Structure 1
Amino acid sequence: KVMAHIDSLEGMIEIVFLPAYAPDLNPDELVWNQMRNMGTSKKPLKKGESLKNRAIVDLEKIRRNKKLVKSFFKEATVSFAAA
């Protein structure tokens, strides 16, 4: 059913099959790299602050930064996902 639907879109969407493990081809890995280098792991938690809430706040900051998100898709290894 999925492939029939994709075929019905007449080229408006393309399926790209990735290897089972290929973090360098996954744009999400760039988000986690951003979190490791600039986000949650670089700031100590405040008393009573939860790691989960901190991660959610940091991910929301990334989501709101459209320039940063676009830059993830300009990386050579994931540029196929930007088309």
Structure 2
Amino acid sequence: MPENFTEQFIEKLEEHYGPWEKMTSRFGNATFGKIAKDLCISASQFSKLIYGSATDGMYVRSIRNIERLIEEQQAVVEQERLQEELEL
């Protein structure tokens, strides 16, 4: 379990988008700008979250938003699986 909000935030990002590529400022294939847009936050807020200068409230909100994105992705996969079963 992550020790603090920054670690937990980064762990959730890696779970949803892929590993953090620090040299190219990406998580998997997603740019920081795309992730900020997905989370409905500004690029500067995203930078604060990544580098540990955000408030606890910003972390809680953003972690919840990532969890919602993960749940949405899982629901889409499940829906596609069920649709395939119906077509058989």
Q: Same fold (TM over 0.5)?
A: no
TM-score using structure 1 length? 0.27
Give the number of the structure whose residues are more often helix, by fraction: 2
Give the number of the structure whose residues are more often strand, by fraction: 2
- Bigger radius of gyration among the two: 1
